[in-house]
Structure 1
Amino acid sequence: MSAASGTLPLGAGAVGSKPADSASVVDWIAVVAGALGALMAMLDTSITNTALPQIQGEVGASGTEGTWIGTGYLVAEVVMIPLTAWLTRLLGLRRLLLITTIAFVLFSMMCGVSNGLIEMIIGRAGQGFFGGALIPTAQVIIRTRLPQRQMAVGMSIFGVIVVLGPVIGPIIGGYLAEEVSWRWCFFINLPVGIALVTLLLLGLPDEKSKFDLLAKADWLGIAGMAIAFSCLTVVLEEGQRERWFESSMIVELSLVSLAGFIIMFIAQKTRPDPVIKLALLSNGAFASATFITLVVGAAVYGTTFVVPQFLAGIAGYNPRQAGGIMALSAIPVFVLIPVLPRIIGKFDTRLMVALGLLCFAGSCFLDIHLGPDSAGADFTWSQLLRGVGQILAAMPLNQASMAAIGRENAADGAGIYSMARNLGGSIGLALCGVFIDQRSAVHSDTIREAVTANSVLGQARLAADGLSQGVDQATAHLRAIAQLSSLVEKQALVMTYDDCFWLLAIGLIAITPVVLLLRSPKPGVVVEVGH
């Protein structure tokens, strides 16, 4: 089994025997349990996005530090995804899900009561690690408990959750932060967790643990993977603030990350069953799909970070209003989800993925002309087009990745594919945070050089502001200077956000030719939407 494929050999931790012609009530309880767990985990990848300004204020985090609230979740999830198959065989599916659900809820409570950044990051990392098992196991349940004729229904449920989870997360988070408290973005997991535990006990059979697998585990590969990815993200996150390789900390973490990748490489060569079968990346078609999903993951999480930041910092939107704008991208998903499974296989997968990438890039280009006076309405068409691009790329791309390596390697391939998407999201969040810090300073300096108190534009602005104040000349002059400085900073930030959208658009266009290396799935294959 892989972290995302849902393929699990019967007799190796599978949930029951081969499904009958029609699923029983207990089977559907199990499916609902898996779907609920996946939904809870998917929502929490982005539920803090629109509430981030409020959370940052209460935990004392700067803008760049605040990206760790999302990045910590994603990095920990990346570490867990490849381990899910092995942990299922080790503990049994029900026991694994009960442990991860309870732990996920406990770490959610920790986030909800946090008053400091360190507590929040630890809580989010714990959520990400244990939530990482909830998403792929949902596919395990669907594939082992539903007959072939009902598989499409189960996969459609899972597909809606995977695609819409990151989209509706900010909406729910924005509403809770504005109407109740941002802490309920985490407290809401308590009743959901209780319901999930109940469904798991009713729908899944108990299985015998196989602790003898502990002695055979690829501990070297696991350690290398955790070290490599975690240190790499820290370098990306802290590099700008620490002046990159001028900092001994950044140099040391880079070397440790490199050592982690070397350890992973050694495990690949020496272990007969490495935790991640990177040899699959020697397949050009699969490597292409994996690379595309990494970039798309960076773009998805990058836009879901930048748009709420713009709406809050420039347009003055509260989290609830920002969530409403983010919800626009969900509309095309609802419209296309029932249609795409019917047409994939009838059209060239490469064409569909390319169209999705270009629509996604086009949505970013629509946002590069935003100004200081832009508001939510200016994001309407870009958000709608973004939703079209994401769903057009996601569904056929997942199918193409599986078609490239064959059914016998589907489990391991899907794990690498899912990990790439999450790692891309982590990189996207980190790079956007660094880019905003760097480019805003550059734009601010450029504007200040052009508009000084002695320049024609500066004098005109100061004179206009001074006349409108209705106070003595000295006080009016000081106020006008303060207002001019504030306008400069706002304009610099707007230009920085425009740069972010431009960078994401160029990245998506740049990888579009890679779709030529993809391989279309054979007609008649059941469409799945992978995480």
Structure 2
Amino acid sequence: MVFGIFMAILDIQIVASSLEQIQAGLSATKDEITWVQTAYLVAEVVIIPLSGWLARAFSTRILFVLSCGGFTLMSLCCVLAWNLPSMVVFRAFQGLFGGAMIPTVFAVIYTLFPPRLQPAMVIVVGMVVMVAPTAGPVLGGYLTEVVSWKALFLINLAPGVLVCLATWQFVRVDEPEWDLLKKIDFLGIVYIVVFLGSAQFVLEEGVKEQWFESREIVFFTFVAVASGMAMLYRELTIDHPIVDLWAFRNRNFTVGCTLGFILGTGMFTLMFLMPVYLASVKGLNSLQIGQYIMVTGMFQLLSAFVAGPLVKRIDSRLMLALGLSGFALGCWMNGNLTYDSGYWEFFWPQAIRGFSLMYCFLPINSLALGTLPPEEVKNASGLYNLTRNLGGAIGLAVANTLMIQLNKGNYAALREHVTAASPEAWALLGGLSQRLSGAGLPDADLAALKQVYGMAMREAEVLTLNTMFHILALVFFATLLLMPWVSKVSADSGASGGH
């Protein structure tokens, strides 16, 4: 089951590094091809909160086999896609099936295993959730370069079939509750699908469309707000809701979801910022970027061997505080780098962040799901995973918008200093012009001017990205203020539903 969600999470990011090749293969425009990513994310976010009800109705075993089988079949369909619309439809169904697997595995941790084994299982799943998105772009870039973009989907086929067979043969967690199918809240499903689909679309497309300057974004924002309010009223007032929002009455769960939202914001935003920094500023290719960012994954793996035993020996609140502080410190250090910074300057901030992630993930996961009754875990797991994903979506939307604004401001500030009255600017321009002239370029003055412009743009981007890293650091330092509301969760207590 863990391998199944590894494929599902990997497929969110594996396509990101190869969109240009897929665009060429499907004869699509640059704006159109982004729908290959957007369709997957929208469908995934929509299905996650419904997964709890589906797992209760069909059982964990049947739901997971259907989801993994559907995901594998849609991977094959993506290989056979004949144009962009067909690829978008297949990717949407792939996201739908993949999204149903993720919360199901989290729920199994707290229903199948006794409390003493739960931290070890959280580490295993946590490694997948955090390493798969880091590995995705690197693996995607390599496969596209060596084989073709179709290999991104072909690699899912054999593992997908094996996961389906193994799950059907060995997983016995619960029995189906077929009675639930007689009281399906169809209206609730419609409200949830419309609300989350519209909200995800606004977050994904808002930056490209200049937010509320676009009628489309305004329309879908209105739809999201209206359907969200209707969903809240419906799910809180009917007897058999499709998503039980009353889970938020549990303080531990609410605080855990809040912290999960913040962790999702940090993780997904960093997955976006690091490749941008390395590609735009350092000019690295996908393989070189992979060599830089794999440091985070390596230290996440290393921290698992330390955090696992430690969670049984120290207060979970102290562990969480250490994790948040370390993550914030890593972000702050990353915000002090320059164009000239080399591999080792990037190494240590990532090492500290990667090592700190498990210290955040373990206590947050246990806080959100570890003290709930077994019958509530499936529904709560869907809501918990949804908050993390929404944190990532909102974080990316805010990061994109901030970067555009900061870039403009930083470039304008730098441009003020590169004027005809500046002796430093003249000296730089003169030196570049002389060097280019010596290299035999016909219009050395114009080429030198272009180089100065490029340097100003590059430095503006460095300042922007450094500011983004510092903002993230401040967010995580500020999250320490939530510590008074965090309850202690013992590794020997929690959901007593192991069977």
> What's the TM-score once normalised by structure 2's chain length?
0.86
Letter in 2 for 1:77: E
SS in 2 for 1:288: helix
Higher helix residue share: 2
* Counterparts of residues 181-192 of structure 1 (less than 5 Å): 181-192=148-159
Structure 1 residue 391: Cα displacement: 0.8
**Paired position in structure 2 for 1:28:** none
Structure 1 residue 101: Cα displacement: 2.1
* Counterparts of residues 40-55 of structure 1 (less than 5 Å): 40-51=7-18
**Paired position in structure 1 for 2:401:** 434
Letter in 2 for 1:372: Y
**Paired position in structure 2 for 1:314:** 281
Aligned: 1:507 with 2:475: yes
Deviates more, 1:262-271 or 1:388-397: 262-271
Inter-partner Cα distance in structure 2 for 1:407 and 1:473: 73
Structure 1 counterpart of 2:190, from 201, 223, 227 = 223
Q: Residue 403 of structure 1 contacts residue 519 of structure 1 at CA under 8 Å; is this kept in 2?
A: no
**Paired position in structure 2 for 1:36:** 3
Deviates more, 1:318-327 or 1:46-55: 46-55
Aligned: 1:490 with 2:458: yes
* Counterparts of residues 453-464 of structure 1 (less than 5 Å): 455-464=422-431
Letter in 2 for 1:355: L
Structure 2 counterpart of 1:374, from 341, 348, 352 = 341
Structure 1 residue 224: Cα displacement: 1.9
**Paired position in structure 1 for 2:391:** 424
Deviates more, 1:172-181 or 1:323-332: 172-181
Inter-partner Cα distance in structure 2 for 1:233 and 1:299: 18
Gaps of 5+ in 1: 1-33
SS in 1 for 2:339: coil
Letter in 2 for 1:249: E
Compared with structure 1, are the counterparts of its residues 452 and 107 closer, same or farther at alpha carbon in structure 2 (3 Å cutoff)?
A: farther
Letter in 1 for 2:52: A
**Paired position in structure 2 for 1:242:** 209
Inter-partner Cα distance in structure 2 for 1:120 and 1:306: 27
Q: Residue 126 of structure 2 contacts residue 361 of structure 2 at CA under 8 Å; is this kept in 1?
A: no
Q: Residue 301 of structure 1 contacts residue 428 of structure 1 at CA under 8 Å; is this kept in 2?
A: yes
**Identity between Structure 1 and Structure 2 (%):** 32
Compared with structure 1, are the counterparts of its residues 202 and 346 closer, same or farther at alpha carbon in structure 2 (3 Å cutoff)?
A: closer
Letter in 2 for 1:449: E
* Counterparts of residues 316-355 of structure 1 (less than 5 Å): 316-355=283-322
Deviates more, 1:365-374 or 1:106-115: 106-115
Inter-partner Cα distance in structure 2 for 1:53 and 1:453: 41
**Paired position in structure 1 for 2:103:** 136
Q: Residue 227 of structure 1 contacts residue 257 of structure 1 at CA under 8 Å; is this kept in 2?
A: yes
Instruction: State the aligned residue count.
Output: 493
Structure 1 residue 349: Cα displacement: 1.8
Q: Residue 183 of structure 2 contacts residue 240 of structure 2 at CA under 8 Å; is this kept in 1?
A: no
**Paired position in structure 1 for 2:162:** 195
> What's the TM-score once normalised by structure 1's chain length?
0.82
Inter-partner Cα distance in structure 1 for 2:495 and 2:238: 33
Structure 2 counterpart of 1:451, from 410, 413, 418 = 418
**Paired position in structure 2 for 1:7:** none
Inter-partner Cα distance in structure 2 for 1:151 and 1:509: 28
Q: Deviations over 1:486-531 (max 9, x none)?
A: 2222222222222221222222122221122011113513799xxx
**Paired position in structure 2 for 1:96:** 63
Letter in 2 for 1:172: L
**Paired position in structure 2 for 1:477:** 445
Inter-partner Cα distance in structure 2 for 1:279 and 1:140: 17
Inter-partner Cα distance in structure 1 for 2:109 and 2:59: 16
SS in 2 for 1:242: coil
**Paired position in structure 1 for 2:381:** 414
Compared with structure 1, are the counterparts of its residues 167 and 442 closer, same or farther at alpha carbon in structure 2 (3 Å cutoff)?
A: same
**Paired position in structure 2 for 1:107:** 74
Q: Deviations over 1:149-183 (max 9, x none)?
A: 87776555434333432333334234324433444
**Paired position in structure 2 for 1:15:** none
Q: Residue 67 of structure 2 contacts residue 101 of structure 2 at CA under 8 Å; is this kept in 1?
A: yes
Inter-partner Cα distance in structure 1 for 2:485 and 2:117: 32
Letter in 2 for 1:61: K
Structure 1 residue 475: Cα displacement: 1.0
SS in 1 for 2:189: helix
Q: Residue 374 of structure 2 contacts residue 495 of structure 2 at CA under 8 Å; is this kept in 1?
A: no
Aligned: 1:252 with 2:219: yes
Q: Residue 108 of structure 1 contacts residue 189 of structure 1 at CA under 8 Å; is this kept in 2?
A: yes
**Paired position in structure 2 for 1:520:** 488
SS in 2 for 1:366: helix
Q: Residue 83 of structure 1 contacts residue 275 of structure 1 at CA under 8 Å; is this kept in 2?
A: yes
Q: Residue 297 of structure 1 contacts residue 424 of structure 1 at CA under 8 Å; is this kept in 2?
A: yes
Gaps of 5+ in 2: none
**Paired position in structure 1 for 2:239:** 272
Q: Residue 277 of structure 2 contacts residue 465 of structure 2 at CA under 8 Å; is this kept in 1?
A: yes
**Paired position in structure 2 for 1:61:** 30
Inter-partner Cα distance in structure 2 for 1:165 and 1:473: 47
SS in 2 for 1:521: coil
Inter-partner Cα distance in structure 1 for 2:204 and 2:158: 34
Q: Residue 115 of structure 2 contacts residue 491 of structure 2 at CA under 8 Å; is this kept in 1?
A: no
Letter in 1 for 2:268: Y
Compared with structure 1, are the counterparts of its residues 190 and 341 closer, same or farther at alpha carbon in structure 2 (3 Å cutoff)?
A: same
Deviates more, 1:344-353 or 1:260-269: 344-353
Compared with structure 1, are the counterparts of its residues 236 and 208 closer, same or farther at alpha carbon in structure 2 (3 Å cutoff)?
A: closer
Inter-partner Cα distance in structure 1 for 2:245 and 2:161: 38
**Paired position in structure 2 for 1:4:** none
Q: Deviations over 1:182-233 (max 9, x none)?
A: 4422221122223223334543589997766344122232222222222223
Compared with structure 1, are the counterparts of its residues 368 and 149 closer, same or farther at alpha carbon in structure 2 (3 Å cutoff)?
A: closer
Structure 1 residue 307: Cα displacement: 0.6
SS in 2 for 1:411: helix
Inter-partner Cα distance in structure 1 for 2:177 and 2:491: 39
**Paired position in structure 2 for 1:286:** 253
Compared with structure 1, are the counterparts of its residues 74 and 527 closer, same or farther at alpha carbon in structure 2 (3 Å cutoff)?
A: farther
Deviates more, 1:369-378 or 1:304-313: 369-378
Inter-partner Cα distance in structure 1 for 2:232 and 2:112: 36
Q: Residue 110 of structure 2 contacts residue 370 of structure 2 at CA under 8 Å; is this kept in 1?
A: no
Structure 1 residue 71: Cα displacement: 5.3
Structure 1 counterpart of 2:363, from 372, 393, 396 = 396
